[in-house]
Structure 1
Amino acid sequence: MSKTSGKTPQRSWAPSPAFVRAVLNGHGALGLAFAAVFYLICLTGTLSVFVDEFRRWENPGAPRMEQVSPDAVQQAFTAALDQAGPGVEHAFIHMPNSSEPMLRITTDAAGKDREWYADADGHLAGEAHQGWTEFLTRLHINLQLPRVWGRVLVGLAGVAMLSLLISGILAHPRVFRDAFHLRLGGSRRLQEADIHNRISVWGLPFHFLISLTGAVLGLSTIIVAALGLAVFQGDTQKVYDLFVVPEPVEDARAAPPLDLRPMFAEVARRSPQGHVGFIRIEHPTERGGGARFDVETAPELLTNVDVYAFDRANRLYYEKPAAKTNLGEQILGALAPLHFGWYGGAIVKIAYGLLGLGLTYLAVGGVYIWLARRRDKGRPAPVWERVWTAIVWGQPAALAMAALGALAAPGMAALPLGLWAGVSLAMLAAATSLAPARLALTGRVATGLTMLASALIHGGLSGVTDPVAAIADLTIGLAGLALAATLFKAFPQGAPKEQPLKAASTGGGNR
Structure 2
Amino acid sequence: MSNTRKKQWRWPISAETVRAVLSSHSVLGLAFAAIIYLVCLTGTIAVFAPDLQRLELPGTPVATRLAPDAAARALAAAAKQVPSDVSLNLTLPSAAREGATLVAYKGKFDRNWAVAEDGSLSSLDAAWTDFLLYLHICLHLPRTWGGFLVGLTGVALLSSLVSGILAHPRVIRDAFHLRLGGSRRLQEADLHNRLGIWALPFHFTLALTGALLGLSTLIVAVLSLLLYRGDTRQVYALFIDPPPPVDARAAALPDVAGLIARAQARMPSAAIESLAVARPGRADMRITVHGRGARQLVSQDEVQFDGKGQLLHEEHPRDLALGTTLLGGIGQLHFGWFGGFPIRLAYGLLGLALCAVTSSGVTIWLARRRDRGRPAPAWERIWMAVCWGQPVILALTAILAFFVPTAPLPSFWVTGTILAVAGAAAWNRASMAQHARAWRLGLLLCCGIVAMLYGGRLLV
The answer as to 2:436 corresponding to 1:443 is: no
Say which of 91, 115, 118 aligns to 2:115.
118
Secondary structure at the counterpart of residue 329 of structure 1? helix
Report the AA paired with residue 168 of structure 1.
G
1:36 match: 34
Instruction: Tell me the CA shift for residue 370 of structure 1.
Output: 0.5
CA displacement, residues 186-233 of structure 1 (integer Å, 9 cap, x when unaligned): 211111111211111211222222222222222221111111001001
CA displacement, residues 20-78 of structure 1 (integer Å, 9 cap, x when unaligned): xxxxxxxx999756210011111112112222222222232222222112211222222
The answer as to 2:334 corresponding to 1:339 is: yes
Instruction: Tell me the CA shift for residue 450 of structure 1.
Output: 2.2
The answer as to 2:192 corresponding to 1:196 is: yes
Count of residues paired in the alignment:
432
Normalised by the length of structure 1, the TM-score is 0.79
CA distance in 2 between partners of 1:459 and 1:233 (Å): 56
Report the AA paired with residue 99 of structure 2.
M
Instruction: Tell me the CA shift for residue 258 of structure 1.
Output: 4.5
Report the AA paired with residue 317 of structure 1.
L
Report the AA paired with residue 101 of structure 1.
E
CA distance in 2 between partners of 1:244 and 1:199 (Å): 39
Structure 1 residue runs of 5 or longer lacking an equivalent are 1-27, 465-511
Distance change (3 Å), C-alpha of 1:48 and 1:109: closer
2:427 match: 433
1:104 match: 101
Moved more, 368-377 or 137-146: 137-146
Q: Residues 430 and 439 of structure 1 are in contact (CA less than 8 Å); yes or no, is this contact kept in structure 2?
A: no
Instruction: Tell me the CA shift for residue 366 of structure 1.
Output: 0.6
RMSD after superposition: 2.4
Secondary structure at the counterpart of residue 276 of structure 2? strand
Instruction: Tell me the CA shift for residue 108 of structure 1.
Output: 4.3
1:210 match: 206
Distance change (3 Å), C-alpha of 1:406 and 1:308: farther
CA distance in 2 between partners of 1:42 and 1:243 (Å): 29
Say which of 400, 420, 434 aligns to 2:413.
420
2:455 match: 459
2:230 match: 234
Distance change (3 Å), C-alpha of 1:334 and 1:373: same
CA distance in 2 between partners of 1:312 and 1:341 (Å): 34
Moved more, 110-119 or 244-253: 110-119
The answer as to 2:385 corresponding to 1:379 is: no
CA distance in 1 between partners of 2:357 and 2:106 (Å): 44
Q: Residues 272 and 289 of structure 2 are in contact (CA less than 8 Å); yes or no, is this contact kept in structure 1?
A: yes
Q: Residues 199 and 358 of structure 1 are in contact (CA less than 8 Å); yes or no, is this contact kept in structure 2?
A: yes
Instruction: Tell me the CA shift for residue 322 of structure 1.
Output: 2.5
CA distance in 1 between partners of 2:142 and 2:118 (Å): 40
Normalised by the length of structure 2, the TM-score is 0.87
Instruction: Tell me the CA shift for residue 362 of structure 1.
Output: 0.8
1:248 match: 244
CA distance in 1 between partners of 2:378 and 2:287 (Å): 57
1:79 match: 77
Q: Residues 106 and 116 of structure 1 are in contact (CA less than 8 Å); yes or no, is this contact kept in structure 2?
A: yes
Distance change (3 Å), C-alpha of 1:261 and 1:250: farther
Secondary structure at the counterpart of residue 192 of structure 1? helix
Instruction: Tell me the CA shift for residue 109 of structure 1.
Output: 7.7
Say which of 283, 296, 301 aligns to 1:306.
301
Structure 2 residue runs of 5 or longer lacking an equivalent are 1-25
Moved more, 368-377 or 268-277: 268-277
Q: Residues 88 and 108 of structure 1 are in contact (CA less than 8 Å); yes or no, is this contact kept in structure 2?
A: no
Secondary structure at the counterpart of residue 404 of structure 1? helix
Q: Residues 94 and 278 of structure 1 are in contact (CA less than 8 Å); yes or no, is this contact kept in structure 2?
A: yes
The answer as to 2:82 corresponding to 1:89 is: no
Distance change (3 Å), C-alpha of 1:304 and 1:30: closer
1:398 match: 393
Secondary structure at the counterpart of residue 192 of structure 2? helix
The answer as to 2:44 corresponding to 1:50 is: no
CA distance in 2 between partners of 1:109 and 1:43 (Å): 28
Moved more, 379-388 or 57-66: 57-66
1:490 match: none
Instruction: Tell me the CA shift for residue 408 of structure 1.
Output: 2.8
1:315 match: 310
CA distance in 1 between partners of 2:28 and 2:156 (Å): 14
Q: Residues 55 and 130 of structure 1 are in contact (CA less than 8 Å); yes or no, is this contact kept in structure 2?
A: yes
Distance change (3 Å), C-alpha of 1:426 and 1:442: farther
Instruction: Tell me the CA shift for residue 144 of structure 1.
Output: 1.7
